[in-house]
Structure 1
Amino acid sequence: MRTFSRRQFLQRASVTGGLSVLAPPVFSKISLGRASLTTISDGHLVLPLSFAIGSNPSAKATEILRDHGISGDQVRPSCNVSIYQDGTNTVLFDVGAGPDFMPSAGTLLDSLSAIGVAPEDVTHVLITHAHPDHIWGLLDDFDEPVFANAAHLIGRKEWDYWWDPDTVHSIGQSRMTFAAGARRRFEMMEDVFERFEDGEEVVSGISAVATYGHTPGHMSFEVRSGNEASLIIGDAIANHHLAFQKPEWPSGSDQDADLGIRTRLALFDRITADNLSVVGFHFPGKGLGRLDKTSSGYKFIEETT
């Protein structure tokens, strides 16, 4: 007889008991050879406008943001989680914010359900980096792994950074909770996580690409099936406005701003030269599309499926 965890029981009770009725979220999907890549929503963040602008020239930054329909004193970046399915594997890239980070985020399980994927269907979880909106969804309200059947993988450099007990003291006061939250989850899942290096094929058809700067060990992933490929970049390019129009500007969300700039410029070159589709965790809509080079920088063209 099949058994369910407490999380799975409550999830099913909320659906069958009528406690939660949600409209299916919008999703984007493309074919990659015989496989598919789908992006779904984990909600969105609510951040002060000053966080987006950082130390960059305020007047020019405000102008660029207004050109992208952003005004007022807040930005609300989307949170886009990717799923790769090849008929054998169902691979999840990052796991969203879970219930404890922001009220506006943490909708991943509802979004998965809407596209017919249950947590137990996920075979692999690949982590780009260990910020709260990317990993706090690893555990449920009972501190049980949400994706209990899946192999969990993270870059060794990223793991080592957040595992280090000194990180919470050196990361800065505004991010101390990031470090404490990552360490807590890694401690509870130490025996579950596997570590990998830059350039490794971590799952068949999926290779790790070092994109350091946003965090010390941030990883992107090239997903390739046949002659088609897509690049899942996490937060290595953190938005579709300032990072696209002024990629040489520092990003306030990057822990190493100078390295983040070099990584961002190299990514733009690679994506456009190889004509890759791309998923940005905080790109608009569901974050899946292509990039065009323009006279003033780059433009994101969202997939509209």
Structure 2
Amino acid sequence: MTLSRRTLLKTLGLGAASLSLPGFGRLAQAAPAGPAPVLHQIRLGEMTITALLDGHLAVPAAAFTGYDAARAEETLSGSFYSEGPQGLEIPVNGYLVERGGQYTLVDTGTAQLMRPDLGGLMAALSAAGVAPAQISTVLLTHMHPDHAGGLLAADGSAAFPNAELVVAEAEWAFWHDDAIMASVDEGSRGFFQMARNAVAPYAQRRKVFAGEGEVLPGFDAMPLPGHTPGHSGFVLDTGATPLLIWGDVVHSTALQFANPGWTIPFDVDQPLAAETRKAMFDRAAADQLLVTGMHLDFPGLGRVERDGAAYAFDQAPWQFGL
């Protein structure tokens, strides 16, 4: 099976025609309501982390660069994973962090920008008892629409009216570079326009950072380039076990731990994305890091383990009763 970038965009509900629209506030307004709210709270030291499920994408296994049918069948065999007619189900997660009565949101989901079975993050936030106006900071791992789309309300205004937006300087610069935007194909230009539109209401209250270091108390940035130029994770100083929210280091729990060299067409630099993933797997396994990510199986908390020459994800059990 051969998938073009345009075919994959269509699969994800992001056809080239809709990508070419100058704004997506109207798309959000016209789209049907998202899925029912799904959330799960995790208490780590001084922080309560609430995983918020935005919904699911179905991505064909054959979409991954490096895909080998026999290897995919071997990887999925004997597991609970199976590929449906549209592909493997991949979650889209965001994370709400509460510490000392302050609320920080890490990524914002899609709003109603993509498929009707996405866009549930705001409902999950409401079910957690937190209003958008209570969010003081939004940290973006990167500016793809399934991470930044929820920055906008249906009318195109800021969905989080009191929040400071924190994003890597390299990420902001990439999506706002007119020369780069002009150099890509027409379908991909829509991603640039969506990224720009999503962050526009926050232009006067944004904070950019470069490299590693503290971006706000209790949160350290970790550059994880390859997926996008400024793709970053955030290490949370919980006062107990540190937690790394690693963004899109992994898109498919089912496939990429066993096949870390497999990349996805939305990786801007696919060799670098694979290199970053392998290095992160090595570090996480060696240091027994507690990690979570935006496309790990919900709620996404666990540790990376070595599995021969490959890796596996040891998912933490749900914490009941919180």
TM-score of the superposed pair, with normalisation by structure 2: 0.82
Find the counterpart in structure 1 of residue 205 from structure 2: 192
1:61 to 2:48 alignment = no
Q: Deviations over 1:112-132 (max 9, x none)?
A: 111111111111100000111
Q: How does 1:89-108 map to 2 (within 5 A)?
A: 89-108=102-121
Displacement after TM superposition at 1:46 (Å)? 2.7
Find the counterpart in structure 1 of residue 44 from structure 2: 32
Q: Label 1:70 to 1:176 Cα distance change in 2 as closer, same or farther (>3 A).
A: farther
Query: Secondary structure at the residue paired with 2:204?
Result: coil
Query: What is the distance in 1 between the residues matched to 2:199 and 2:97?
Result: 24
Displacement after TM superposition at 1:187 (Å)? 3.4
Residues 65, 242 of structure 1: 8 Å contact kept: yes
Query: What is the distance in 1 between the residues matched to 2:119 and 2:272?
Result: 30
Residues 230, 277 of structure 1: 8 Å contact kept: yes
Query: Secondary structure at the residue paired with 2:155?
Result: coil
Find the counterpart in structure 1 of residue 233 from structure 2: 220
Greater CA drift, 37-46 or 182-191: 182-191
Query: What is the distance in 2 between the residues matched to 1:260 and 1:24?
Result: 31
Amino acid at match of 1:63: E
Query: What is the distance in 2 between the residues matched to 1:23 and 1:99?
Result: 13
RMSD over aligned CA atoms reads 2.2
Q: Deviations over 1:83-108 (max 9, x none)?
A: 11111421100011011222111111
Q: Label 1:192 to 1:239 Cα distance change in 2 as closer, same or farther (>3 A).
A: same
Q: Find the partner of 2:156 among 138, 143, 158.
A: 143
Amino acid at match of 2:53: S
Find the counterpart in structure 2 of residue 84 from structure 1: 97
TM-score of the superposed pair, with normalisation by structure 1: 0.86
Displacement after TM superposition at 1:172 (Å)? 3.5
Q: Find the partner of 1:258 among 252, 271, 284.
A: 271
Query: What is the distance in 2 between the residues matched to 1:175 and 1:111?
Result: 30
Displacement after TM superposition at 1:22 (Å)? 8.1
Displacement after TM superposition at 1:142 (Å)? 0.8
Amino acid at match of 1:57: D
Query: What is the distance in 1 between the residues matched to 2:37 and 2:192?
Result: 33
Find the counterpart in structure 1 of residue 135 from structure 2: 122
Displacement after TM superposition at 1:185 (Å)? 2.4
Q: Find the partner of 2:165 among 126, 148, 152.
A: 152
Find the counterpart in structure 2 of residue 245 from structure 1: 258
Amino acid at match of 1:140: A
Greater CA drift, 69-78 or 123-132: 69-78
Find the counterpart in structure 2 of residue 205 from structure 1: 218
Amino acid at match of 2:189: M
Q: Deviations over 1:238-280 (max 9, x none)?
A: 2212210011334433111111111101111221222221111
Unaligned runs of 5+ in 2: 1-32
Query: What is the distance in 2 between the residues matched to 1:38 and 1:185?
Result: 23
Query: What is the distance in 2 between the residues matched to 1:197 and 1:274?
Result: 24
Give me the identity figure in percent. 33
